[in-house]
Structures are given as structure tokens and as C-alpha cells.
Amino acid sequence: MKHACRYSIVRFMPYPETGEFANVGIVVLSPTAKYFGYRMMERVARITAFFDELDANIFRKARKTYADELLRIGQSIEHAFAESSHGPTLSFANFAFGELVKPREGLIYADTDRVVMANDPSEKLVELFDHYVGRAFATKAYQERSVEKRVHKILRAADLTGLYQEHTLGGSDAYKARLPFVRLDHNGRAVRAIKPLFLGHDDPSRLYDHGWDWLGKVKKLRRDKTLVGDVMFAVQPPNENFGPRASAFSEVTQQLREEDIVVVPEIEDSKILDFATR
């Protein structure tokens, strides 16, 4: 079933005199799916690179204030969703979203709302964020997000998205890493994780770096005992069977397997499901 989603691009405009802004977040509301969600950019360096004379703390404080407001609005909408599914509830959700996107002065604001149809509003939020904030269409991260979307569809078809959710693993004062599909036990420990991985880079050096980066992350999380179970990498390989990229891919995947990381091609639906349901 497709749901109508209202969404708005969240923008940061430190100098209204010039009208220059940076996209820093996305907010999505779907009353029929009883969904309200948002995502804000965390990379301060991107902001200071664009506004090179800006004190980074100005953005940090504005982002914190705006995120607190989104949290408050979200809690009100979710409370209304929990109370009822009738007309008044939908009206309140739309009213609250309308108030959020009203023109206002501020360093961070929600632009005029737009509408898009989606089967899964939470997945659409990620897609919109990647496009408008991450400019994913211009980066290799776009390919990795495509692999992630494919794995999400596999899990959703098997009704496993409630079991596997995105989590940032690591203590408050320790190393942290985001994994999109993590299964927790009743004690909150990560007992199984799936990480989609794009290893089809044109440059073999980048393939090595990306593979080794995630190998190091998993080893660190395991040493810190914040990841205590099995890990699978669902990988997209280079589109060649011979040559430097193929050799790099073979070496990296061998090293991953030597560290007890399960490696499967992202097109192997049955193997991904077999791992997820163990």
C-alpha cells in the first residue's frame, strides 16, 4: 500500500542578508502510515567548508535547538497516533506539520512542504535525506545505499524489519559505528548484524580502503563487546572477473572471512535470509 507523505527540507541560513543556505535535514509525515520521522546532518565540517567564516558552534547550537523542537513535535504526533486513528488525529498531525513548515525567522527552518508517495515512509526518509542533504547521486555512497535498500526489501518481504533495525553501536565514551541492520537480544546486546557493502569502486585503492575500514570497525566493536554475535557483509563486487579490481576484491573478502565475517553477494537473497533467520 502506498502512503502519501508530506516532507520538508530543513535548511540552515546563517546570513539572511545573502539568502545563502545549506540543506541540513529532512522531515517526513505520513498520517495514513502513522509515521513521523526526521534526520539531521551531523557533519559540521561540511557547513564550515561552505560558510568558511562561521563559528562551528553556532551551527551545533542551532541544530540542537531545532532537533529538540522536532523531538517535541514528533512526540505529540506519535501520542495522537496512539490515541486514535480517526479524523481528528489525522487533522492534528497535519496541523502540527503545517505549523512546522510555516515561514519563520531562524538559523534553521523547514522549507515549504512537498508531497511524495511511498510504500515505506521510513525508507523514503532515508532516500530523501541521501538525495537532498547527502547529494548521494554524486557519490559512491549512493551505490552503497542502493545495496542497503535491496537488503531492506529482502528483510521486509520476510517480515524481519521489526527484528533488524538501525543502531549505532558503542558506548557513550567509546568508539561508535552505525550499522543499518542489527538484531538485539533482551539485554540490548547486538547478537547479529548485516552490513551492506559496496566494493565495486573504480579505483582498487578505494576498494581496499573501504573494505579494510569496515573490517577494522567490526574488530573494534567486537573487542569492546558491543557486538557479540555474527556479522554478515552483503557486498556488491566490481563488474569484472579479472584485473586489479577483481584481485583487490578477492583479497579483501578473504581477509573478512578470516575474521569470521560472513560475506555474500547482495543478490543472494536466500543466503541473506538464511543468515537473518538463524
pLDDT in tens, the chain (278 residues): 789 999 999 999 998 888 889 899 999 999 888 899 999 988 787 788 788 788 889 999 999 999 999 999 988 888 888 776 555 667 888 888 998 988 888 899 999 899 999 989 998 998 899 888 876 544 566 677 888 888 998 999 999 988 998 888 886 667 888 899 999 988 888 999 999 999 988 888 989 999 999 999 999 999 888 898 899 999 999 888 888 999 999 999 999 999 999 999 999 999 999 999 98
Q: Which pLDDT score, from 0 to 100, does residue 85 have?
A: 56
Dig out the grid coordinates for 200 from the structure: 565495486
Q: Which pLDDT score, from 0 to 100, does residue 19 have?
A: 84
Neighbouring residues of 245: CB distance < 8 A, sequence distance ≥ 6 = 200, 201, 202, 204, 207, 238
Can you tell me the distance from the alpha carbon of 237 to that of 72, in angstroms, rounded to the nearest whole number? 43
Question: Helix and strand tally (H, E) in the chain?
Answer: 8, 10
Show the DSSP H helices in the chain as ranges.
44-50, 56-83, 87-100, 121-132, 141-157, 204-223, 244-258, 269-276
| Domains located in the chain, CATH noted | 3-138 (no CATH), 146-276 (3.40.1350)
